[in-house]
Structure 1
């Protein structure tokens, strides 16, 4: 390293951040909004917003499944929670198309069907942030893992490069061009530095079974089914005995599970071989009750109610994995904790964005507007300013597409990608500053349009109805869109002022020369 260690780290920080910066921004921003994934899903299914969990949800839903699918090999039931008031049931049915499975959204108070528009909801953003879209899942997850590793390298090399990073945090010089971008980048990186390190490292841990499978291959002799059973508390199904036997009453099992978990709620129910003498009922605790997501499981005999097995986090490795994963998804701690995680992740998104913008600013000042610099500037506009606009289009499509439209879920997602593709092409035909201004203002207008269209399309879920009812889980989405609109509009105004400043200086110089 002839240039010196810090100079080498500066080079590594600059180029590693640029290579994956645009994809990292998309991963970060979609992961940011995923902290409120259940709330987004509920907002996008306004027909479900009046549902409530109910005090006997487990008993009611299992009774309904006995009536609805008594001969199914198994039922998987996701129980309602404070953030998701609906029970979701899944079971195998050979007559169902296209994949032989059926699912239902059930009212946890009555067991009846809850009809709602088809939508991917917040699950789309959640899935996109770690497995992208349109690629084979293993390949997509490898790409995201690589981006996370590069992000970790960028953070560490950035700490080494900026010796005065903490001192510079208290120094911001506005309207100073490159210096202002560097100050903003350093401030965003420093303010939430522990979060940035945590979220990047734990993101790598969540995909470690893919990127570092050797412990699984060694300890489970390559048997991934055995690994899944050990980690998630699900064993392979036992064949039916063919002896018809009713399921045991569920109420005592629910009480025992909650007692063993010191009041913890049931998050997932798996019933195998219902109506047969080999039936089992498995309860798994909700993730939101604790930091770790390692499954706490109780398996009951489905006909006698006797406890067959209990499973707790198995050893330090499993406990560590559970805590790491739990820190990453942030389901614990209530709304205040999620809000802090959301703000920190938003600063992480801004940190990535300012880093890629800073690269273009420095390169333009150093070597002019070459083809490489122009390409980076085009991608900066489309990837950074275009993504919030495309996300607003996704929410608007949920309200504007016909409720009974065939392939509705697919078209919501297509609307997102079509909008983003158009915005990626738009900077090719506009000047750099003009493209920034137009896309930022467009994003602001589209974000404002979300709550406005919500008033017309589904007035029952609009702010006028949700705020007086203290439904912050629903109103929060509209309010967040308005906040994003203010943020994007403010950025558009800032770009406009920066564009006007050189013209004002040139005008002053010309006036002075004329005098």
Structure 2
């Protein structure tokens, strides 16, 4: 019976089709594997961006460390926020400003002010006390934008590159399903012993099958989010390419130019209260003030999305001078669907078990991509003997740089965050420089090792050891520089910092074990090839 079912399944997908799918599946992974690894890894970190920010910004730990759990009572914008905006403006004329209000994951409010002579930003406690400059971009302003735009925002070029890689990932997932006819058998197969290539292929198949629905969902929704940018034909035809007008109509936004007539800002608290009433009890998350100090000023209040899947922030717009309601528009069916798909991708909803699943499944995507690249390398190395060509060496250096090298760069940035003095100029840019310089050095190190070794092999063991040492150092440095060790974090209820420290500790332990195992267990296939070559 089993043999008949297997034969019937094989007839459904012809060998010719599987062979045709193998080429794009292989080369999409080989050429774009490093980029996809960056996208998936940074996306995984972005799931806990607020918690990593709290670890990298000790000044923002006031909610749990100094004054107990943060109060989630509504904040008075007029008494707690507006005075902070005036401090940040420092006497300069304010044009626009916004505040991100505290929530359970982030007990401080973040502000950004645009004046006639430049921008200013800062963080403040719920009672309006302005905190010292954080001196870092953190996960929310570095890891997260690196995930979706590669920090290349001019001309949306980063979005285009990421979208192209996402389409390639989608093609790789679909072609992978076609290639692996024994997809259900692969679900239960993992041989961690024997040949390295066999183990890599089993792990590649296992992560691909086990988390396939998530990978399909996260890839498709990621493409959908940027569709108006990468497929602007509809916007061009209906709005003449005017994205601002398109978003005004589609997402219920509202905008108008400055009038040039000075006028004071009306009280903000009644506007927020009215927005809550329109939402049926929802809480405000972000408040924007456009054209501040002008008769044409506009106040926008965005809803918190933690209690639902959709990323629809339901913006409510008020006249900044009179406080009158200007616009509140429910999204149409197409936009509502787009917002739900966006919410599935961003995981902004307040659900801790699902957030952990997103994080672990994102890391499983990294394993899927990494094992695919490593399997290709091992297969080519065995086929070409101990002297593989330039193509193999290039992919080997890329694979090492985009896996262990990316981990080392991330941990080096976190260690620099704890080591750099608080008062140095452009401290956040120094951290970013440490990240990219370390990443480049890791890739160069891998390239040199694969070029100079008699039996070319990327320095997996050495870089895994570096990952372990850096991860452990980050935990110790957090303890030394802030005085917050795990015991104190538990006592204070600072679960965000404790969680980051625990993940770092687990990373250190896992990386050290892998490093030692790679030293003790050389590849048996490669050893055989070396012996044959020596005898020859």
TM-score by length of 1: 0.90
Query: What is the distance in 2 between the residues matched to 1:173 and 1:419?
Result: 34
What is residue 501 of structure 2 aligned with on the other side?
A: 478
- Do structure 1's residue 291 and structure 2's residue 309 form an aligned pair? yes
What is residue 513 of structure 1 aligned with on the other side?
A: none
**Alpha-carbon distance, 1:458 to partner:** 1.5
Q: Is the 8 A contact 2:394 2:447 kept in 1?
A: no
Q: Is the 8 A contact 2:95 2:293 kept in 1?
A: no
**Alpha-carbon distance, 1:116 to partner:** 3.1
What is residue 436 of structure 1 aligned with on the other side?
A: 460
- Do structure 1's residue 321 and structure 2's residue 333 form an aligned pair? no
What is residue 268 of structure 1 aligned with on the other side?
A: 286
Q: Is the 8 A contact 1:17 1:355 kept in 2?
A: yes
Query: What is the distance in 1 between the residues matched to 2:213 and 2:198?
Result: 24
Query: What is the distance in 1 between the residues matched to 2:458 and 2:338?
Result: 47
What is residue 5 of structure 2 aligned with on the other side?
A: none
Unaligned runs of 5+ in 2: 1-13, 64-69
- Do structure 1's residue 39 and structure 2's residue 56 form an aligned pair? no
| Equivalent residue in structure 1 for 2:519, among 485, 496, 515 | 496
SS at match of 1:29: helix
SS at match of 1:20: helix
TM-score by length of 2: 0.87
Aligned CA distance change for structure 1 residues 93 and 323 (closer, same or farther; 3 Å)? same
Q: Which moved more, 1:489-498 or 1:443-452?
A: 489-498
**Alpha-carbon distance, 1:307 to partner:** 2.5
What is residue 117 of structure 1 aligned with on the other side?
A: 134
| Equivalent residue in structure 2 for 1:8, among 20, 34, 51 | 20
What is residue 8 of structure 2 aligned with on the other side?
A: none
What is residue 221 of structure 1 aligned with on the other side?
A: 240
Deviations 1:127-182 (A, max 9, x none): 11122246846222221111111111100000000011221121111222211111
- Do structure 1's residue 28 and structure 2's residue 58 form an aligned pair? no
Spell out the pairing of 1:306-455 with structure 2 (5 A cutoff): 306-313=324-331, 315-368=332-385, 369-371=387-389, 372-430=391-449, 431=453, 432-433=456-457, 435-455=459-479
- Do structure 1's residue 90 and structure 2's residue 102 form an aligned pair? no
Aligned CA distance change for structure 1 residues 169 and 74 (closer, same or farther; 3 Å)? same
SS at match of 2:299: strand
Aligned CA distance change for structure 1 residues 273 and 62 (closer, same or farther; 3 Å)? farther
Query: What is the distance in 1 between the residues matched to 2:384 and 2:264?
Result: 79
What is residue 77 of structure 1 aligned with on the other side?
A: 99
**Alpha-carbon distance, 1:273 to partner:** 4.5
Query: What is the root-mean-square deviation of aligned Cα atoms in Å?
Result: 2.6
Query: What is the distance in 2 between the residues matched to 1:384 and 1:241?
Result: 54
**Alpha-carbon distance, 1:323 to partner:** 1.2
Deviations 1:284-333 (A, max 9, x none): 112323211123022233344432321222x1221121111111111114
Query: What is the distance in 2 between the residues matched to 1:393 and 1:504?
Result: 34
SS at match of 2:518: helix
Query: What is the distance in 2 between the residues matched to 1:260 and 1:187?
Result: 48
Q: Is the 8 A contact 1:265 1:289 kept in 2?
A: no
Query: What is the distance in 2 between the residues matched to 1:174 and 1:138?
Result: 43
SS at match of 1:57: coil
Query: What is the distance in 2 between the residues matched to 1:160 and 1:8?
Result: 10
Query: What is the distance in 1 between the residues matched to 2:405 and 2:446?
Result: 10
Unaligned runs of 5+ in 1: 510-515
Query: What is the distance in 1 between the residues matched to 2:439 and 2:265?
Result: 54
Q: Which moved more, 1:193-202 or 1:43-52?
A: 43-52
Aligned CA distance change for structure 1 residues 402 and 62 (closer, same or farther; 3 Å)? closer
Query: What is the distance in 2 between the residues matched to 1:63 and 1:353?
Result: 49
Q: Is the 8 A contact 1:202 1:324 kept in 2?
A: yes
Number of aligned positions between the proteins: 499
Q: Is the 8 A contact 1:131 1:137 kept in 2?
A: no
| Equivalent residue in structure 1 for 2:164, among 140, 146, 159 | 146
SS at match of 1:406: coil
SS at match of 1:49: helix
Q: Which moved more, 1:114-123 or 1:362-371?
A: 362-371
Query: What is the distance in 2 between the residues matched to 1:88 and 1:412?
Result: 20
What is residue 183 of structure 2 aligned with on the other side?
A: 165
Q: Which moved more, 1:395-404 or 1:324-333?
A: 324-333
Aligned CA distance change for structure 1 residues 356 and 214 (closer, same or farther; 3 Å)? same
What is residue 129 of structure 1 aligned with on the other side?
A: 147
Aligned CA distance change for structure 1 residues 361 and 253 (closer, same or farther; 3 Å)? same
- Do structure 1's residue 191 and structure 2's residue 213 form an aligned pair? no
Q: Is the 8 A contact 1:228 1:234 kept in 2?
A: yes
| Equivalent residue in structure 2 for 1:156, among 153, 174, 177 | 174
Aligned CA distance change for structure 1 residues 17 and 498 (closer, same or farther; 3 Å)? same
